[in-house]
Structure 1
Amino acid sequence: MTDVKVTTLKNGMRVITDPMPGLGTSAVGVWVDTGARHETAAEHGISHVLEHMAFKGTERRSALQIAEVIESVGGHLNAYTSRDQTAYYARVLQDDVPLAVDILSDILQNSIFDEQEIAREKEVIVQEIGQTFDTPDDIIFDYLQETSYPDQPLGRSILGTVAQVRGFDRAMIAGYMKRHYLAPRMVLSASGAVDHEALVRLAEDAFSGLAREGDVAMEPGIYHGGDYREERALEQVHYALSVPGVSYLDDDYYAMQILVGLLGGGMSSRLFQEIRERRGLCYSVFTFASSFMDSGTFSVYAGTGEEQIRELSEVLTDELLRVSEDLDGAEIARTKAQLKASLLMGMEGPAARAEVHARQLQIYGRILPPAEISESIDAIGLQDVKNLAGRLFFGVTPTIAALGPVRNLAPFERIAARFN
């Protein structure tokens, strides 16, 4: 960690390197501080379309050549879009880092957005949307997010709608990229077999064409809560519940990670033990936290049968409400150990390290040493977690999303009343 270096280029783009001695490969990517929540209503889904189109041809390479040139050296290239970022990354041998940087800079600055390619790729994305709707334990989380943050960018799905995706044209895609893909909002992060000074030199040449200023706006995320349920002919009810959580910058961020772990982070967690092991109400139950710069949610998911959904939802709520009073030091210590081990294990691969460092720089403006994170976790006391549980689960409006044979689920008003 002491070897991690950061350099800001003349245009404002930042370069991070994290050498890992003994490796012969490198993970290198560009993280753009722009995602689905930066879209206007008319642009819903365009961040994801742009991510796809970046691979579909540049002034120098066709779509096939982009794929062939990286795979001919045994590397691979990929990307993803989230609500608050878009990432493009490669995994290559050490000697092929210059090639990876060249390809990344090419697709992010010289994409031609050919109309025929756009037409074809839009239909691919339409199929992706259809597949998501056919996957209930996937689409349920879009319904949960939309109900938590209604009528605002943070609540919209990342993929967009079929009608909007089909309506995008070259001018819209290129215009969105020009406004949002700005050097100060982009981080080139590499881990593994990398040399900092060499990567900086490559970046200075390769990304010099990036603009410094553009029109970037982000509507604040305001949690509302509410109820979404859809009767569908499925074997199980897919049930998810959220309450307002904390942002990345909240003092309770690590306390929330502990609460996530002890309630539903593993086989020894409270929800797993009570709902699955003791009562046999489900196969899958887990908790997770979603944090953003200005908002966040604490969520639970479970899949269960039509006859079990009422009891499951009641027991789940019971467990959330009692945790602020019924905690002990041993439980906190065990969860802290799990959290610290998970963080360290997650940093053992170069791809994960490159991503974590890029996100830390975008969120906090600096790289957080693992020792500092461990100290922050260790500093969380029993009362801190109890206080956070009281803050999260009392006096709030929950969000419920349910999909499947939902007729036996209690009315929203009855469930919500228990949180007040």
Structure 2
Amino acid sequence: MIGRSALTRGAKLAQRRAYAAVAGASTETASFDATDINGIKVASRDPRSPTTRLAVVAKAGTRYQPLPGLAVGLEEFAFKNTDKRSALRITRESELLGGQLKAYHTREALVVEAAFLRDDLPYFTELLGEVISKTRYTTHEYHEDVERVLQLKQNKLSHDALTQAIDTAHSVAFHKGLGSSIYPSSSTSLGPYLNENSVAAFASAVYTRPNIAIVADGATQDSLSKWVEPFFRDVPISSESPLQLFTEASKYYGGEQRTSLSGSNAVVIAFPGSNLSADKADVAVLTAVLGGDSSIKWSPGFSLLGKAAAEAPGATIVAKNLAYTDAGLLTIQITGSALAVRKAAGEATKALKSVAEAGISKELLTKAIAKAKFDLLSTNELTGAGTTAAGNSLIHGGKIFQVTEALKSYEAVTADQVKAAAKSLLDGKATVASAGDLFVLPYAEEIGLKV
């Protein structure tokens, strides 16, 4: 345990450390270096920043849960009472050091994360090791905190058309695994599946050495290795849980599903996209060509979907590639009034078909490559997504996705490759998910898509 002197040290030296580190900060893109410590995969990179982001990434996202709700249940138990610390103590000690704690899950990973001043690496390494190996899954915390928070999230998402459409698109595209709902809907009864005992069994199944990766952004490999060995010693080598994780490989199906919803409207059009294991540079650039969001506030932007949105006032259209370890979805997400969404869905399909049939200009290609590079860098460097992606790659036995290599591949993309990528998508089966006023929202065939 880190004593009071360490806690007060963090507060006293924060400003001095910040000034010293920033002065020597590098502007180059650092790559993650990976190693293995007693069977635990560890990766780190050190851009010499004054802060560190440390995460335990577990193969425990919704695609792996054997019962609905277990991923979010385990997420909500993070930083609760452990065998050594109460939840109150964890909160107070972290606040004294100026740290930030959070837990979240994706379709593939459960992430338990801390961000802090870099000299406090020992304390937060110990804390994360304690969270995944010594959390107490108590009945009263489940009913007072976990169950209550889950119900609030369910109620919030039940009125969000876009969230429902994205969730439905995954279900239609992949069925099981990646098709599992990121949050169980409010209509799903979790009573038979979710309780403190099933969450504890899930924790026992996923918090094992082969199933986790420790990733640090803002720490050297030597300093991280020094503290991982003692503080993660209690993580078991194998699972003794009665629960078996769902591990089938992803398979794309495609199709259409419509959900009636009052208050908001959304249509998600999706196709097989780029994954983390084999990044497709042409798909990334095509996503930027489609775009939707303008980077200039007073301009509709150069992207094709930005121009399509101008033809459907009241609608918002954006293209996003959702990448996973063995699959991806290139999505076109449309929201707004029902009539505007209907019009925008048709315009979005026209924009994609124009690329497949006529291709794109050299100027548009240049802009799209620059936008794709910026989006990749900003996502990985500013939001911490690179940490999760690195951890995902490690626990799936693959090569860590390196931003520098991806940037070079983007620069080599040609207009013909973008045209071919668009044609390939349209020649295959699309996924179309609609949520809202189904009397107005279009069917896939009405906007010229094959499902």
Q: TM-score, normalised by structure 1?
A: 0.89
Is residue 296 of structure 1 aligned with residue 328 of structure 2?
Answer: yes
Q: CA deviation at 1:258?
A: 0.8
- Select which of 214, 234, 246 maps to 1:209: 234
Aligned partners of 2:441, 2:149: CA distance in 1, in Å? 36
Q: CA deviation at 1:346?
A: 3.9
Q: Mark the CA change 1:105 to 1:401 in structure 2 (over 3 Å): closer, same or farther.
A: same
Corresponding letter in the other structure for 2:167: D
Aligned partners of 1:243, 1:370: CA distance in 2, in Å? 24
SS at match of 1:308: helix
SS at match of 1:38: coil
Please list, as runs of the form range in 1=range in 2, the aligned pairs for 1:58-69 lying within 5 A after superposition. Answer: 58-69=82-93
Q: CA deviation at 1:111?
A: 0.8
CA displacement, residues 19-65 of structure 1 (integer Å, 9 cap, x when unaligned): 223x332211111123110122xx11201111111222110112222
Q: CA deviation at 1:182?
A: 1.9
CA displacement, residues 101-127 of structure 1 (integer Å, 9 cap, x when unaligned): 111011100011011111221122111
Q: Mark the CA change 1:217 to 1:167 in structure 2 (over 3 Å): closer, same or farther.
A: closer
Q: CA deviation at 1:67?
A: 1.6
Aligned partners of 1:280, 1:131: CA distance in 2, in Å? 28
Corresponding letter in the other structure for 1:255: D
Please list, as runs of the form range in 1=range in 2, the aligned pairs for 1:131-280 lying within 5 A after superposition. Answer: 131-150=156-175, 152-161=176-185, 162-164=188-190, 167-192=193-218, 194-214=219-239, 216-234=245-263, 236-250=264-278, 253-267=280-294, 268-277=301-310, 279-280=311-312
Corresponding letter in the other structure for 2:70: I
Corresponding letter in the other structure for 2:198: M
Structure 2 residues not aligned, in runs of 5+: 1-28, 295-300
Aligned partners of 1:66, 1:409: CA distance in 2, in Å? 49
Q: What residue in structure 1 maps to residue 77 of structure 2? A: 53
> Would you say the 8 A contact 1:182–1:211 is kept in 2?
yes
Q: CA deviation at 1:134?
A: 2.1
Q: Mark the CA change 1:275 to 1:33 in structure 2 (over 3 Å): closer, same or farther.
A: same
- Select which of 32, 37, 44 maps to 1:17: 44
Q: What residue in structure 2 maps to residue 403 of structure 1? A: 435
> Would you say the 8 A contact 2:315–2:337 is kept in 1?
no
Is residue 31 of structure 1 aligned with residue 57 of structure 2?
Answer: yes
CA displacement, residues 280-315 of structure 1 (integer Å, 9 cap, x when unaligned): 433411011122233222211112333334432222
Q: What residue in structure 2 maps to residue 391 of structure 1? A: 424
> Would you say the 8 A contact 1:260–1:288 is kept in 2?
yes
Q: CA deviation at 1:353?
A: 5.1
* RMSD (Å) for aligned C-alpha atoms: 2.5
Q: CA deviation at 1:176?
A: 1.4
CA displacement, residues 227-262 of structure 1 (integer Å, 9 cap, x when unaligned): 22233332x5322211233433346x2211111111
> Would you say the 8 A contact 2:312–2:343 is kept in 1?
no
> Would you say the 8 A contact 1:179–1:216 is kept in 2?
yes
Q: What residue in structure 2 maps to residue 375 of structure 1? A: 408
Q: What residue in structure 2 maps to residue 109 of structure 1? A: 133
Percentage identity across paired residues of the two chains: 22
Corresponding letter in the other structure for 1:139: Q
Q: Mark the CA change 1:307 to 1:89 in structure 2 (over 3 Å): closer, same or farther.
A: closer
> Would you say the 8 A contact 2:317–2:332 is kept in 1?
yes
Corresponding letter in the other structure for 2:209: A
Q: What residue in structure 1 maps to residue 8 of structure 2? A: none
Aligned partners of 1:297, 1:347: CA distance in 2, in Å? 19
Aligned partners of 2:313, 2:383: CA distance in 1, in Å? 39
Aligned partners of 2:119, 2:409: CA distance in 1, in Å? 38
Is residue 307 of structure 1 aligned with residue 333 of structure 2?
Answer: no
> Would you say the 8 A contact 2:63–2:246 is kept in 1?
no
CA displacement, residues 373-414 of structure 1 (integer Å, 9 cap, x when unaligned): 221112222222111111111232x22222222312334444
Aligned partners of 2:372, 2:190: CA distance in 1, in Å? 40
SS at match of 2:262: coil
- Select which of 77, 86, 92 maps to 2:101: 77
Q: What residue in structure 2 maps to residue 281 of structure 1? A: 313
Q: Mark the CA change 1:389 to 1:211 in structure 2 (over 3 Å): closer, same or farther.
A: same
Task: Tell me how many residue pairs correspond in the alignment.
Answer: 409
Aligned partners of 1:173, 1:195: CA distance in 2, in Å? 34
SS at match of 2:421: helix
Q: CA deviation at 1:165?
A: 5.9
Aligned partners of 1:404, 1:352: CA distance in 2, in Å? 31
CA displacement, residues 79-102 of structure 1 (integer Å, 9 cap, x when unaligned): 110111111111112232111111
